[in-house]
Structure 1
């Protein structure tokens, strides 16, 4: 199992226990049609998603603002441990190809899914290259946005 210990100087962490089984959280993160239902915090939406669930595979999404502007993002899956850990980065595109990040700072996301009673201990870590990138991501609303998206994930998966 892939482990990563967050560096408080460089990383942002969202950790919560949610009332959804781990296999449903995994499905929500790895099924493009489900990602489109929860990934962007409302009133934003996710209009496109393409995932190739293997190391080197793509993790591409397009978010739409309430004003209708589209923001495509392409990334690369680094780790896909079935039902437990998903790691992807915006620093690389499919096939581990280095790329310039459209959002101004590349980051790597580590999503850990652990059983906790009938629910899931959910940990999302955004790893940054330096403190200024962390600060930018924090000021963009990392905790609010990722927290709202997690609430939406729970809502969507409780319906499945």
Structure 2
């Protein structure tokens, strides 16, 4: 009998972004986990993520998906699974399936929310699997725009 063992492959690329937000960790955590809030910032500039195209089951093993739109048409669909939810300190989720064998790019995202006496240091790390460096560079540039929008959303007067 021949046995084969699955080999856990490490990420191809990994990067981190650290940003300080003018809101407490609980509010930043809610911006990530409440569809009514996520719709306001979860897209790069010039795009939107309509509320009706967001589905979040925020629990370990729960799925998430969001369609990013441009000019009233879907531009891309992001989806994955929540791995760890530690309110309001940490959120870990996949985009795509990092264990897939078809070579489709995927990643694991870890977001830590550190309390800075009413402000939040958000530490974002994305580890890409089956991911070329150029793809990771585009993803990183996109996240920078997402976080610019998140910053503006948290700084604006918005209903609770």
Alignment of 1:124-143 (within 5 A): 124-129=124-129, 133=131, 135-142=133-140
Shift of 1:152: 1.4
Alignment check: 8 A CA contact 1:33 1:49 kept: no
Q: 1:11 to 1:22 in 2, by over 3 A?
A: same
Q: Does 1:152 align with 2:157?
A: no
| Uncovered stretches (5+) of structure 1, i.e. residues with no partner | 1-6, 93-97
Partner of 1:63: 68
Name the structure 1 match of 2:122: 122
RMSD of aligned alpha carbons: 2.8
Instruction: List structure 1 segments (4+ residues) > 6 angstroms apart after TM superposition.
Output: 98-101
Q: TM (normalized to structure 2)?
A: 0.78
Question: Based on CA coordinates, which of the two structures has the bigger radius of gyration?
Answer: 2
TM-superposed deviation, 1:67: 7.2
- Separation in 1 of the partners of 2:64 and 2:139? 21
Aligned residues: 146
Q: 1:1-160 residue pairs with structure 2 within 5 A?
A: 10-47=13-50, 48-66=53-71, 68-92=73-97, 104-129=104-129, 133=131, 135-142=133-140, 144-158=141-155, 159-160=157-158
TM-score relative to the length of structure 1: 0.78
The answer to whether the Cα contact below 8 Å between 2:39 and 2:48 also exists between their aligned partners in 1 is yes
In structure 2, list runs of 5 or more residues that go unmatched: 1-9
How far, CA to CA, are the matches of 2:139 and 2:24 in structure 1?
27
Instruction: Work out whether residues 60 and 72 of structure 1, in 8 Å CA contact, stay in contact via their aligned partners in 2.
Output: yes
